[in-house]
A and B are shown apart, each in its own frame.
Chain A
């Protein structure tokens, strides 16, 4: 995998970036509301940025620490082609219904096998971390993929703050779900709400596991899982849970929404694996958004070097 990790003394991306991309980055990084010019042509209602606005400046000036040698998926595609069933099951529904998601105020409850559980508001969670930009590949189980420049911080750094104890073998996550005020897609039980996901502790502590708060130098649009979402690039996209409100350290393997929906199709691990087909379609190839023909899918989505050791000795056909 051609994962490039940047050291502080490295040349900036702008030195070698395509001219147009550099101009855009430059525009975004200049000023707290540098993204404002683009906001007019974007699909996000500004109201949803309310309390994340304070972090917009920090997001805009994040330094890039990881990238891949692939063309970025355009902003318009990243923000209008989404699987976020809480906002509708069509690909364009989440961006169209984005305003239904209220991200201010936002609190995350941390509980379970840890010494410092609690309920933190967004500011308390984010202010302790320095943001970095990471360009990751994202591979959906539906066999399409994107290249996305996320802004955020390592999941490990967040979890360490709560001091998980020795009984914490897994970490579980939950997406927002208010029975009194369900999001448009939550009015039907297409999935069992709230959306649930989980990782094994060593997966969660892997350097690649990322908590994203922004994309393309701007705070996350609602349709991308604002204000806080997980990105686990070596697994199918549905494991990168969006709009997180709960984190729980558990001893037993937690239930995950897609596994609850179809256990024979969506396993707990769901590592990207071209050798293990989905029961109903092949996973050997994928369509990169923006391209017309399919390309070969890579083991662990190209991140084999960084994560294969987590699964040494495991039968990946059984533990799909």
Chain B
């Protein structure tokens, strides 16, 4: 386990603030910039609305899974600084999900409240998608330091709803698929893998050994 403990890297606060965080912002915005660029260069194919809907949706899912990967990776490698990126990555998941929803209500529903309501109520895959978005909105609004202080222990309980978001989003994806289940299957597998540590309580003893710490100095 020598090699793994050598990976233990704790950057200074300045590095996190001035290098790591800005880089994470830039990387997270690349899909968005590419989509805007594709719109203006007419590079979205014959059905640009469909392409936009699919792309924003899949990036929202990817950022959601990235958010869920932060804690397991942190515990595995001992990279405590990763926690400082989790809010940002989570908010980007919400950002892309919001874009996904906006494309849908503007172009698919023509901003009609009636059509949108009908879809949300009558189409199960849209019901779960909309529910996921609502939860993400609540998580986004309470993501600030102020809300964290205000809610204290309740904040952790509230933000564990992100796991439900994962389930709802995957159902949304599976239920809109016609015949080719390969992509939904891959993302579902990744989600399950990320949820296993949570299910078994992270196997604190074994993981901390991996991270090069002794069990007596075990820290959360």
With A77-B46, A292-B49 as known contacts, state yes or no: A282 contacts B110, CB within 8 Å: no
Q: Does A55 contact B (CB under 8 A)?
A: no
Task: Select one of B50, B123, B175, B180 contacting A282, CB under 8 A.
Answer: B123
Q: CB-nearest residue of chain A relative to B108? A: A294
In the A-B complex, list the 10 residue pairs whose CB atoms are closest, starting with the nearest: A81-B46, A77-B46, A89-B180, A190-B179, A190-B180, A289-B46, A293-B110, A292-B107, A261-B179, A191-B179
Q: Which residues of B sit under 8 angstroms from A76, Cβ to Cβ?
A: 46
What number of residue pairs across chains A and B have CB atoms under 8 A from each other? 52
Quote the shortest CB–CB distance from B120 to chain A (angstroms).
12
Seed contacts A81-B47, A280-B175, A293-B107; 15 additional CB < 8 Å A-B pairs: A76-B46, A85-B180, A91-B45, A91-B50, A261-B179, A280-B124, A281-B125, A282-B122, A287-B47, A287-B50, A287-B108, A289-B46, A292-B107, A293-B110, A294-B108
Q: Which residues of A sit under 8 angstroms from B125, Cβ to Cβ?
A: 280-281
8 Å CB contacts to A: which residues of B71-130?
Answer: 107-108, 110, 118-119, 122-125
The answer to whether A80 and B45 have CB atoms under 8 Å apart is: yes
Interface of B is mostly: helix
The answer to whether A81 and B179 have CB atoms under 8 Å apart is: no
Q: CB-nearest residue of chain A relative to B118? A: A282
The answer to whether B50 and A188 have CB atoms under 8 Å apart is: no
Q: CB-nearest residue of chain B relative to A85? A: B179
28 examples of A-B residue contacts, CB within 8 angstroms: A76-B46, A77-B46, A80-B45, A80-B46, A81-B46, A81-B47, A85-B179, A91-B46, A91-B47, A92-B45, A142-B178, A144-B47, A188-B180, A188-B182, A191-B179, A280-B123, A280-B125, A281-B125, A281-B176, A282-B118, A282-B119, A282-B123, A287-B47, A287-B50, A287-B108, A289-B46, A294-B108, A294-B110
Chain A, interface size category, equals 20 to 34
Q: How far is the CA of A282 from the CA of B124 in the complex (A)?
A: 12
Q: Which residues of A sit under 8 angstroms from B175, Cβ to Cβ?
A: 280
Quote the shortest CB–CB distance from B103 to chain A (angstroms).
10
Over the window 23-62 of chain B, the binary record of Cβ atoms lying under 8 Å from chain A Cβ atoms (1 yes, 0 no) is 0000000000000000000000111111000000000000
Q: Which residues of B sit under 8 angstroms from A290, Cβ to Cβ?
A: 46
Which residues of B are in contact with A by a Cβ distance under 8 Å?
45-50, 107-108, 110, 118-119, 122-125, 175-176, 178-180, 182
Q: How far is the CA of A81 from the CA of B49 in the complex (A)?
A: 13
The answer to whether A144 and B110 have CB atoms under 8 Å apart is: no
Q: Which residues of B sit under 8 angstroms from A287, Cβ to Cβ?
A: 47, 49-50, 108
Q: CB-nearest residue of chain A relative to B126? A: A281
Interface of A is mostly: loop
Quote the shortest CB–CB distance from A93 to chain B (angstroms).
10
Quote the shortest CB–CB distance from B118 to chain A (angstroms).
7
Q: Which residues of A sit under 8 angstroms from B124, Cβ to Cβ?
A: 280
8 Å CB contacts to B: which residues of A72-86?
Answer: 76-77, 80-81, 85
Q: How far is the CA of A112 from the CA of B45 in the complex (A)?
A: 42
8 Å CB contacts to B: which residues of A112-153?
Answer: 142, 144
Most chain A C-beta atoms within 10 Å of own C-beta, residue among B46, B122, B125? B46
Quote the shortest CB–CB distance from B158 to chain A (angstroms).
31
The answer to whether A81 and B45 have CB atoms under 8 Å apart is: yes
Q: Which residues of A sit under 8 angstroms from B108, Cβ to Cβ?
A: 287, 294
Q: How far is the CA of A188 from the CA of B181 in the complex (A)?
A: 11
8 Å CB contacts to B: which residues of A146-199?
Answer: 188, 190-191
Q: CB-nearest residue of chain A relative to B124? A: A280
Q: How far is the CA of A76 from the CA of B123 in the complex (A)?
A: 33
Quote the shortest CB–CB distance from A182 to chain B (angstroms).
16
Q: CB-nearest residue of chain B relative to A277? A: B122
Q: How far is the CA of A287 from the CA of B108 in the complex (A)?
A: 8
